[in-house]
Amino acid sequence: MISTTPIMRSITNLKHPPRFALASHEGNHLVLASPEQCRIELFVLAEDIIRVLVLPDGELHGPRTWPSPPARRTFRSKAASAAI
């Protein structure tokens, strides 16, 4: 059954941005939270790659998504291919 309860959005905008504080830190996962119930989750995936999850009202409403890298391809010049 689909809920008919309206989603409450926090009253924040660029003029009144939320102020975040560190809520938790466990391994490579950091959670920043604001008094307005906004939340940002940071996942350190590699030394130079992070995943940022922004939750304006503290909850995930959309479907879960996962990034996937493109297929690894090896490009060879025509000369290199001909030599094989």
Give domain status of residue 42, yes or no.
yes
- Quote the tokens at residue 28: 């490579």
Give domain status of residue 39, yes or no.
yes
Give domain status of residue 82, yes or no.
no
Give domain status of residue 2, yes or no.
no
Number of independent structural domains in the chain: 1
Res. 21: pLDDT tops 80:
yes
For 23-56, the pLDDT digits (tens) are: 999 999 999 999 989 999 999 999 888 999 999 8
Give domain status of residue 65, yes or no.
no
Nearest residue to 57 (alpha-carbon basis) of 18, 14, 1: 18
Instruction: Give exposure, 19-37, as e/b (b: 16+ Cβ within 10 Å).
Output: eeeeeeeeeeebbbbbebb
Mean predicted confidence (pLDDT) in 10-28: 87
Tell me the pTM.
Answer: 0.60
Domain that residue 39 falls in:
17-58
Q: What is the mean pLDDT of the chain?
A: 79
Categorize the per-residue pLDDT at 63 as very low, low, confident or very high, splitting at 50, 70 and 90: confident
